[in-house]
Amino acid sequence: MERRSSIYVSLPTASVKSVMTTPTRIELCSTQEVAPGEAKRVEVPGLELAVFNVDGQFYVTDDACTHGPGLLHEGYIDGDVVECNFHNGCFNIRTGEVAAPPCMIPVKTYRTIVENGKVFIET
């Protein structure tokens, strides 16, 4: 008698969802609202964000510093680095990576799109 065997592969639900989900585009502000070298806080449902203009390129991070109560849109911006005005920790605006302690955890960044003079993120 021939014996057949079957192999079942189970995909994690999260993996299937990430493949099937199309990104959601969220409008944040006009490019005119954020001058080069400056930042603006934007709140949308569920997110508190900082929109940065680095030499005409726009980047979006979470506004909350990962170290404490500082807000990055209030920080000192030098090129593509923002210094939190609470304890002077720094983050790279483009990547979210920590650029100076006491911060240890990178800040979340968002895929940023500029279209027709508006800044959007995709989540």
Nearer to ligand FES, 26 or 73 (CB): 73
β-sheet with 109-115: strand ranges across: 25-30, 118-122, 109-115, 57-62, 47-54, 39-44
Supply the minimum distance, in Å, between the C-beta of residue 64 and ligand FES: 9
Question: What's the first-to-final CA gap in the chain, in angstroms?
Answer: 55
User: How many angstroms separate the CA atoms of 121 and 111, rounded?
Assistant: 5
Closer CB to ligand FES, 92 or 119, in the complex? 92
Using CB under 6 A, which residues numbered 43 to 72 contact ligand FES?
A: 65, 67-70
Q: Which two tokens stand for residue 75?
A: 């920080």
Contact stretch for ligand FES (CB under 6 A) within 20-28, 48-56, 83-91, 106-114? 83-91
Instruction: Please identify which residue in 33, 41, 74, 87 interacts with ligand FES, judged by CB under 6 A.
Output: 87
Residues in contact with ligand FES by CB under 6 A are 65, 67-70, 84, 86-87, 89, 102-103
